[in-house]
Chain A
Amino acid sequence: MLVTFAQAVGDAMKEEMRRDDRILVFGEDIAEFGNIFGITRGMLEEFGPKRVRNTPISEMAFIGAAMGAAETGLRPCVELMYADFSLVAFAEIYHCIAKWRYMHGPEYKLPLVIRSAMGSSFGATGEHSNCLESLYMHSPGLLVASPSNAYDAKGLLKEAIRNDNPVMFFEHKQLYKTKGEVPEEEYTIPFGVADIKREGSDVTVIAIGLMVGRALEAAEALAKEGVSVEVLDPRTLVPFDKEAVRRSVSKTHRAMVVEESNKTSGVGAEIAAMMQEEMYDELDGPVVRVAALDVPLPYNIELEKYAIPDAEQIAAAIRKML
């Protein structure tokens, strides 16, 4: 069936909650209001106020509380309205949630998911537009997912909820309304398994989140010029499917990483560094990074567009590689 990304996320939570009553959701404006993007609409009615709870605007408290609840046997799937606000709770996530099991031992299971809307959305500007995956990749102990379509979002979120590790689950705001085919029957997608969104033989483009669609557009345009682009969506950044990347570049010998966040210290920096360390022999040239300019995202819509990679820019960068 054809569903939006937003519906797919909501359905994943509902299906899991029907299966396991230890799963509960809480966060800001998720109960009656049903979340800013309508994702949790209907959940209060179905599961009641015991399992679907609004929290005050106290990110540090409710994210820390999710950890406490997870540590003592519940499986919270909490919502941080915008990824930008996760920084208010950064110490709880980066230090406590990420490191607890490692420092205290395997009996300290933290089966919790922190879902968060992220990314640019038509002038949301510097404090409501950030893609922060790389911050959380930097703290060992957290799993990080950044799906690019409805099917992946649903399968990965169900896996995230079932998983006994803490998961940062990023949902791009501009993807919420995009529709995708999702099967009626149940499925999950394991973490750490990349998906080839388009096969090609000349260049491997590793694209993340919203950028997957833009990379596919670029690939389509380049196909008309006789350039064959392979688009690889890692789907999860921790764990990262290195083998899928190796398989792809052993065929194309050229690679590019496309992300929406700022270039400096971004996801692309990590992937490019890993590739030159571990698969240098496969590469015919340097790994190219296409990312946002190193500025806070501006409010003006044209400036915002300019600051973030689009299909045209990706295509131009690919042409330069050949």
Chain B
Amino acid sequence: MFVLCKHSKKLKDLPGNLKIKQNSLSIGIIVASDYQHQKVFDKTIIRKRVEIKMTLLSKEQLINFYRKMNRIRAFENEAIELAKMNLTRAAIHTYNGQEAIAVGVCAHLKEGDYITSTHRGHGHCIAKGADLERMFAELMGRKTGYCKGKGGSMHIADLSIGMLGANGIVGGGIPIATGAAFALKYKQTDNVVVCFFGDGASNQGSFHEALNLASVKKLPVIFLCENNNWAISMNIGKSVNIENISERAAAYGIKGLTVDGNDIAQVYREFGNCLEEVRQGTGPVLLEMKTYRLSGHYFGDNENYRSKEEVISRRQECPITRLENLLIQEYGVLPDELKAIASEEKAMVLEASNKAKLAPEPQAEDLWNDLFAQDFENITWQPFVKS
């Protein structure tokens, strides 16, 4: 509805506003666009305009998205507070500014679907339904955490919700997603895998090898590139020689699509369309969602590689703010209602954090748990044990 009511007039004017370039080399690349998208990513080349399948989003759905996006933001803000209190270890990579992607994507997934995640994975976990208290407990290295205090922020996984694992190695999750998709196909289900990764990971060999493998085997996996402009300090303009990561799909003969990842309605709609095809067995899709990493690479990053002005200007395109505007302007939601939702979410997050703070620390003997499957642990050989 959103684009639908609001921009229907503007859409009519589109051809006059947009430069449409034809490029015979980029067969299969479709950049979904609407007027708003163009304003944000004015450098995006529109190669082929297609009719966008419109999915009607109800107020309730959008409010639900708003709730979850605020939950993620509140979680990350609290994670930073914990880091400041020295309750967390190593690096905390926040998802601030990318919330629309995890929320819009995971809203479509059903039981039996899988996701793989990255070092910036808190948002994916929360959107997929992970338990906030166990997440916080893990961030604080507690025994009740997702990894029992052995993994930390970068390694949260929860098989019970189909979250196969975050990953500290850039691009490390892409082949894993491919293997999970192979298993789903082997078991003849209609389930899919969503493989989240960043623009930086798209330059790893693992990305190219996995896309090729998945394409020849027609595996049910959506390679979802969250292009947030920055790979630590390296701007996307300096790390790749193309406008859109999705153009790489052409090399593997699969569908590639670039959408505005800060627009929850577009994320939801376009991902839904891809998902429908992938569930039917048409093979993998490379779906790029353009967004912006509002925070530093990690908490404590001096960000000497980008200007404050750049961050301030991109903050105006924050997906939460955009959804707020949409709800207020097009759906008649009162600002106070939204504020109430945001505070509810924050309160829930803080409650989870406070409970996690009371969780027990793991003990030295816990170090040996889970190294090998039980039957192997029972054989006579034992690893070196501290005397």
Interface residues of A (CB under 8 A from B): 28-29, 31-34, 54, 56-61, 84-85, 88, 121-128, 263-264, 291, 293-296, 298-303, 306-307, 313
Contacts and interface: CB of A to CB of B under 8 A. Distances in A.
Nearest to B369: A295
Nearest to A58: B203
A4 B134 CA distance: 39
Contacts of A291: 384
Nearest to A31: B233
A303 B362 contact: yes
Interface of B: 88-91, 138, 141-142, 147, 149-152, 154-155, 167-171, 200-201, 203-206, 231-234, 238-240, 304-305, 361-362, 364, 366-368, 371, 383-386
Nearest to A291: B384
Contacts of B205: 58, 60-61, 88
B364 A32 contact: no
B305 A56 contact: no
A106 B151 CA distance: 46
Contacts of B234: 28-29, 54, 56-57
A104 B284 CA distance: 42
A56 B90 contact: no
Contact of B361 (A54, A122, A302): A302
Given A61-B205, A85-B169, A306-B367, A29 B362 contact: no
B366 A294 contact: no
A264 B141 contact: no
A56 B239 contact: yes
A88 B204 contact: yes
Contacts of B138: 299
Contacts of A307: 367
A53 to B, nearest CB: 10
A32 B232 CA distance: 11
B363 to A, nearest CB: 8
- Say what secondary structure dominates the interface of chain B: loop
A229 to B, nearest CB: 19
B304 A123 contact: no
A295 B384 CA distance: 9
A273 B367 CA distance: 28
A166 to B, nearest CB: 21
A267 to B, nearest CB: 15
B152 A125 contact: yes
Given A58-B204, A263-B384, A128 B90 contact: yes
Given A58-B203, A84-B168, A301-B89, 7 more contacts: A33-B232, A84-B169, A293-B384, A293-B385, A298-B362, A299-B141, A299-B147
A214 to B, nearest CB: 15
Contacts of A57: 170-171, 200-201, 203-204, 231, 234, 239
Contacts of B386: 293, 306, 313
A125 B150 contact: yes
Contacts of B141: 123, 299-301, 303
Contacts of A29: 232-234
B231 to A, nearest CB: 6
A60 B209 CA distance: 13
24 contacts: A29-B234, A31-B233, A32-B304, A56-B234, A57-B200, A57-B201, A58-B204, A61-B203, A61-B205, A88-B206, A123-B141, A123-B152, A124-B91, A125-B89, A127-B168, A291-B384, A293-B383, A294-B383, A296-B150, A299-B149, A300-B361, A303-B366, A306-B364, A307-B367
A126 B155 contact: yes
A301 B155 CA distance: 16
Given A56-B234, A125-B155, A303 B384 contact: no
A126 B151 contact: yes
A34 B149 CA distance: 32
Nearest to A299: B152
A85 B119 CA distance: 14
Given A33-B233, A126-B155, A306-B367, A54 B150 contact: no
B319 to A, nearest CB: 25
9 nearest CB pairs, A to B: A123-B89, A299-B152, A33-B233, A127-B168, A300-B141, A56-B203, A300-B149, A294-B383, A56-B239
